[in-house]
Structure 1
Amino acid sequence: MPDYVIVGGGSAGCVLAARLSEDPSVQVTLLEAGPPDTSVLIHCPGGLAVLAKNGQANWAFQTTPQPGLNGRSGYQPRGKVLGGSSSVNAMIYARGHRADYDHWAAEGNAGWGWQDVLPYFKRSEHNERGADAFHGTGGPLNVMDLRSPHRFGPVFVEAGKQAGHAENRDFNGAEQEGVGLYQVTHKNGERFSAAKAYLAPNRQRSNLQVITGAHATRILFEGRRAVGVEYRQGGETKQVQANREVLLSAGALLSPQLLLLSGIGPHAHLREHGIAVVHDLPGVGQNLHDHVDVVQVIDAPHLKDLFGLSGRGIVNMVKAIFEWRNHRRGLLTTNFAEAGGFIKSDPSEPLPDLQLHFVIGKLVDHGRKTVFGHGYSCHVCLLRPRSRGSVQLQSADPLAAPRIDPNFLGDADDVRRLVRGFQAMRHILRQPALAGQGGRELASSAGAQNEQQIEAFIRAYADTIYHPVGSCRMGNGPLDVVDAELRVRGVEGLRVIDASIMPRIVGGNTNAPTIMIAEKAADLVKAAAKSSREADHAKPEPVAA
């Protein structure tokens, strides 16, 4: 029987599996609903474009109709493969602002302030630039500058400087604000997912079992103690017992769903679906929030070295395929969003509240729509939205998708900030460095000039930039789900360890913070096991009659 059963082989689950199995006396089982990460489209960074189109390795969820988005249902892609979303994302390494973590601690989460979590960021990282006060070397996760950066990323950076923003060569260093080129989770010209960083080097361990194609359907309880997991694999229902703890790392959309299916959540919602209540925990699935984002696209048919569908583009791609296969260099080592920045919607803001992702191709509908010709795009997303939504059950069928309602733009402040963000992004794109390239804004956004028109454009086109968090919130309030050690309140032997525990979303991409959360959680789990062993040893021997 394993000591620990981990549900979800994504960014957090891979970290936990590797760290907990470092002790050869501990048995670990990892369950992943998706397949192994064997597809070349995962390992080739540029394969991201094809993954977006074909839906491979992706849960491809949809939200409920969003009133703030004119009643549209948004797209919610999440990784369904070993490595989870780190196997299908844009590979940007960003931690957020140090104030984000101090905010977590100030809300009563001891041990989660910036100085507490920085060592875990550093422990996880091997930064090819070298170690310093903010970065580590020797960790499992390789972080580097792009191996074959496109010439157009620095053009955006120059335009940002012309717009009055400082250049920032390290968004994870002393200061976050500014424009620059992103570092990425690559190694030797390939994507370096959490599965590649943490799981692959340790798969040979005899005390680590990885089961793919295993869709968890409920957590098993004896009274209020979690004792195992039920899952479906190949049409069969199976169970695996846990001697010590069940660790739930299925992500901000699926972790709350599994808790609800298992009888942990608001009693009225559980009874609505005929699920026996194990523990009435009203915050499960609440506090869902995400970085809402909108994209401006520039048509530049003469810039044929940018990604695009044309005769020249096809020739470029054939050459790039051979260059990547033979040398792991060239156009296909891109993460597409090579440049960007963290800026303020108003100079009076204490922190950057907007993030930019500059893409070296025309991005429409999350890259799912085929667009002819060449050009470039720029995202702007709101870093700390006030809007809050929920994850609920659509039915008691464990194979049904959850009901996802991020409540995008539900708060008027979010709308105002994103309007200002769009204006700031457009101001950068109109600077000489980019405007001089001769591109033309697509008609869908070009007609939006005043604030009302920009708001209408945002409501018609905005959507996620893939960072859902918060649905199993950490804290000590009545709607909080886990405590500061990530233990689910009101039950035993069960923790949630993934982005769902974030009390408030960080000001940046969420993959690196999720890996950090799992690094810290692994220490918490180990410390709990050690304390339990010491308590057992301290018990007096029974006295003979």
Structure 2
Amino acid sequence: MAFSRLIILSAFYSAAYAGSWTEPFEYDYIIVGGGTAGCVLANRLSANPSISVALIEAGPTVFNDSRVLSVSPGGPAWNTELDWQYTTTPQVYANNSTLLYHAGRDLGGSSTLNGMVYLRPTADEVDSWSALGNPGLTWDNLLPYFKKSEHLQLPTEPEALLDTSYEASFHGFNGPVKVGWGNDLNTTGYGRALNSSWQSLGFSWNLDPNSGDTAGLGLFPLEKDTVVNIRSDSARSYVLPVISRPNLHAFTNTTALDVNLDGVGAHHGPRKAVVAKGVNVILPSGKKQFLRSKREVILSAGTYRTPGLLERSGVGNPSVLRNMSVTLKVNLPGVGAHLQDQWLLNVIVNPNFTLESLTIGWNARPLTASLTAADVFEDDLDTVAAQLYKDIPSYARILSEASGGAISVQAQEQILRLRADTFFKKGVAIGAMIFQVFGGNHWVTLPLSTGTVHSSSDPSRPNLNPNFMQLPWDIMVMQRLSQIQRKIFASPEVQAALGPSATVEILPGYSNVPANASLAQWTAFYRASLAPVWHAVGSAGMRRRDWGGVVDTKFRVYGVQGLRIADASVIPLELNGNPTSTIYALAEKAAEDILADCEIGKGKPWS
């Protein structure tokens, strides 16, 4: 009976809405989006039985769906009803190609269909967020939240246990999200050949890429329950264990339309404060319903959808809202204006692989490699650094213009200088590689190119423009990464480990991109062959308001009382690692901030 509490809301409304639902549509907290962050918030905020929580999710529950339970990185849920299947606008710097974006459309969000990689950013890049107007937001202050969410599992078989590589002090062992390695971990053969080739190029082994330094070759834990060998997604980790709570109401298959904002300036007299009063939704029956918030609304709809919810509610760039015929309530130009994502190139040297062999290899050898600017540019480092600092003013003008002026040239210059300092003065990783049975892929982890995402006439199809290959810096770094990965796959020991069919590079292929290819030749190939990494962040960034920020360090939306955002959209800049681990940590922090500000009996947080 307890299990039905979470599910019945969807089933009930699907049948019909006849007014027989007697409970009031009023909650202390309303969370919009049951994805990676939303499930964390639902769990933590409802832990106090005196606090009522509504969780709104457009998709269904998938606790027993085999496509979600699978530990395959090949995307069993991709291109199904559990996938939003977004498409980008034509990419003007990449042959006007339109690219597919996978994103989870179910309770658990993209944690139900991603590659299950648990990999954090570097300490220095998190520390740099403070300079964006986030005092106190540092690696040391965020690390406890990483650990709070994590439950690191280790193999029980001695041979597999010997293959693990981690530093225990950086990990949590009692959190909700099970991550780790199973008894199928086996880095012999291909893994050891890779490490030997890697170190022959002068690069190092990284004992633990989750320790705040990602540089080097190392093992990443997988987001899976290694005991039963199933994916450990956000809903399974945070919602399933607490579905019996009577104060937690999950509205699945329910679409949020906008946030109801009260207090827009009157025609006469002083302007009133803008306050979030609740959320307008469409129930599975098709009926429109207003859910009233007694305390706060928290948007957790993700990088692609949160900006649109703000814009349809009247919060955003005046010019964008004007084109949408939406009345401006809060002037916040940074909404949707600083989206960043990574793009990759696949390198295929072994055509003899299947989805099954890919899944086995992914779980047995979860190897990742990251390279710093010094690794990538070697003797050219000083020349390259000087050129980038020289290019910053022109890059800033390009980015400001692309944002429609939402972020000033001056602000963009400061952000770019901060970024360059992390490259050259802090030595953070700027590129990453994955190695698997087919070969691997690589990407620029900290691109400077910046895109946008805004609402469209169809809220489920946002205008998504990552602006891939917008700035020359990203292309130059990518060329060096391509050359390095080519060297690794050309080494005799790696070819021997992959088998006799791995002696010829199929993609890119030397007939397409010769060994001595120029930057122009590589650029032409990238334009025709790139693919998104689906690590988009920053569309409602946590930064200074005059630098295009949307939320402050406590996740509060500037200019609106009772409204917060907690999802990947608040991550202020693209980051190393994979975003999921950071989303979990930020959501844990957001829940703590919300509860600290809104203790029961002390009124609204903004009273």
Query: For residues 402-459 of structure 1, what are the alpha-carbon distances to aligned partners after superposition, in whole Å with 9 as ceiling and x for unaligned?
Result: 1001111101111111111111111111122222333121154332121332222111
Q: Which residue number corresponds to residue 400 of structure 2?
A: none
Counterpart Cα distance in 2 of 1:36 and 1:218: 22
Following superposition, the deviation at residue 169 of structure 1 comes to 3.5
- Matched residue type, 1:457: F
1:293 to 344, 359, 362: 344
| CA distance 1:232–1:153, shift in 2 (3 Å) | farther
Structure 1 runs, 4 residues or longer, greater than 6 Å off: none
Contact 1:383 1:506 in 2 (8 A): yes
Total equivalences in the alignment: 496
- 2:76 is the alignment partner of 1:50: yes
Q: Residue type of the partner of 2:230?
A: E
Q: Which residue of 2 aligns with 1:365?
A: none
Deviates more, 1:420-429 or 1:341-350: 341-350
Query: Does the aligned pair in 2 maintain the 1:45–1:333 contact within 8 Å?
Result: no
Which residue number corresponds to residue 506 of structure 2? 442
| Shift in CA distance, 522/356, structure 1 to aligned 2, threshold 3 Å | same
Would you say 1:39 and 2:104 are equivalent positions?
A: no
Q: How far did residue 477 of structure 1 move?
A: 3.3
**3-state DSSP of counterpart to 1:243:** strand
TM-fit CA distance, 1:103: 0.6
Matched, 1:432 2:492: yes
CA distance in 1, matches of 2:281, 2:509: 46
Return the TM-score normalized by structure 1. 0.86
Structure 2 residue corresponding to 1:185, chosen from 223, 233, 240: 223
Matches within 5 A, 1:61-140: 61-129=86-154, 132-140=168-176
* 1:210 corresponds to: 250
The reply to whether residue 340 of structure 1 matches residue 332 of structure 2 is no
How far did residue 175 of structure 1 move? 3.5
Mapping 1:109-508, distance limit 5 Å:
109-129=134-154, 132-149=168-185, 152-173=190-211, 175-187=213-225, 188=227, 189-223=229-263, 224-234=274-284, 235-301=286-352, 306-307=353-354, 334=362, 338-344=366-372, 345-347=376-378, 348=381, 349=424, 350-360=427-437, 376-395=438-457, 397-398=458-459, 400-436=460-496, 437-438=499-500, 439=502, 440-442=504-506, 444-446=508-510, 447-449=512-514, 450-451=517-518, 452-478=520-546, 479-508=548-577
Q: Tell me the CA shift for residue 149 of structure 1.
A: 3.5
CA contact (8 A) 1:61 1:78 kept: yes
Instruction: Give 1:307 shift.
Output: 2.5
> Would you say the 8 A contact 2:107–2:235 is kept in 1?
yes
**Is contact 1:34-1:212 (8 Å) kept?**
yes
**Is the CA contact (8 Å cut-off) linking 2:598 and 2:604 kept in structure 1?**
no
Structure 2: distance between partners of 1:186 and 1:4? 30
Deviation at 1:236, TM superposition (A): 2.3
Amino acid at match of 1:442: I
1:372 aligns with none
1:238 to partner: Cα distance: 1.9
Do 1:45 and 1:332's aligned partners in 2 also have CA atoms closer than 8 Å? no
1:26 equivalent to 2:64? Answer: no
Aligned to 2:88, the other structure's residue is in SS state strand
Q: Is residue 595 of structure 2 the alignment partner of residue 526 of structure 1?
A: yes
1:86–1:193 Cα contact (<8 Å) kept: yes
Once the two structures are superposed, what CA deviation does each residue of 1:128-178 show, in whole Å capped at 9, x if it has no partner?
259832111111111212442366445434432343322223211264211
C-alpha distance in structure 2 between counterparts of 1:337 and 1:285, whole Å: 37
Q: Distance in 2 between matches of 1:174 and 1:483?
A: 24
The equivalent residue for 2:22 is none
Flag structure 2 segments of 5+ consecutive residues without an equivalent.
1-25, 155-165, 264-273, 382-423
Question: Partner of 1:327 in structure 2?
Answer: none
Give CA-to-partner distance per residue, 1:445-477, whole Å, 9 cap, x none. 332121332222111111211101000011123
Greater strand fraction, Structure 1 or Structure 2: 1
- Equivalent-residue separation in structure 2 for 1:218 and 1:443 (angstroms): 45
In structure 1, what residue type is equivalent to 2:61? Answer: P
Match of 1:16 in 2: 41
Aligned residue in 1 for 2:157: none
Letter in 2 for 1:41: R
Quick one: distance in 2 between partners of 1:39 and 1:241?
A: 32
| Root-mean-square deviation (Å) | 2.3
Distance in structure 1 (CA, Å) of the matches to 2:601 and 2:135: 24
Q: Is the 8 A contact 2:123 2:213 kept in 1?
A: no
Distance 2:32 2:98 in 1: 28
| 2:178 aligned partner, one-letter code | N
Relative to structure 1, the CA distance from residue 47 to residue 500 in structure 2 (aligned partners, 3 Å threshold; closer, same or farther) is closer
Q: Which runs of 5+ in 1 are unaligned?
A: 318-330, 361-375, 540-545
Contact residue 117 and residue 221 of structure 2 kept, 8 A: yes
Where 1:126 maps in the other structure, the secondary structure is strand
CA distance in 2, matches of 1:351, 1:460: 29
Q: Which amino acid is the alignment partner of residue 176 of structure 2? A: P
Amino acid at match of 1:141: V
The aligned amino acid for 2:120 is R
The answer (yes or no) to whether the contact 2:150–2:178 under 8 Å persists in 1 is yes
Residue by residue over 1:296-322, the C-alpha shift from the partner in whole angstroms, topping out at 9 and shown as x without a partner, is: 112343xxxx425xxxx7xx89xxxxx
Alpha-carbon contact 1:148-1:334 (below 8 Å) kept: no
Change (3 A) 1:21 1:32: same
Residues of 1 paired with 2:429 and 2:167: CA distance? 25
> Which region of structure 1 is more displaced relative to structure 2, 493-502 or 143-152?
143-152
CA contact 2:260–2:279 (8 Å) conserved in 1: yes
- The 1:203–1:56 alpha-carbon spacing in structure 2 relative to 1, beyond 3 Å, is same
Amino acid at match of 2:454: Q
- The answer (yes or no) to whether the contact 1:42–1:88 under 8 Å persists in 2 is yes
Q: Quote the Cα distance in structure 1 between the aligned partners of 2:446 and 2:529.
A: 19
Contact 1:162 1:428 in 2 (8 A): no
Tell which deviates more after alignment, 483-492 or 174-183.
Answer: 174-183
Q: Which residue is 1:370 aligned to?
A: none
Name the CA distance, whole Å, in 1 between partners of 2:136 and 2:569: 18
2:162 alignment partner in structure 1: none
Contact 1:42 1:48 (C-alpha < 8 Å) held by counterparts: no
Query: C-alpha distance in 1, partners of 2:540/2:73?
Result: 32
Kindly provide the CA deviation profile for residues 2-22 of structure 1, in whole angstroms up to 9, marking residues without a partner as x. Answer: 100001111100100011111
TM-fit CA distance, 1:56: 4.0
Contact 2:439 2:489 in 1 (8 A): no
Is 2:147–2:175's contact at 8 Å kept on the other side of the alignment? yes
Deviations 1:337-384 (A, max 9, x none): 822211132244512111112233xxxxxxxxxxxxxxx031111111
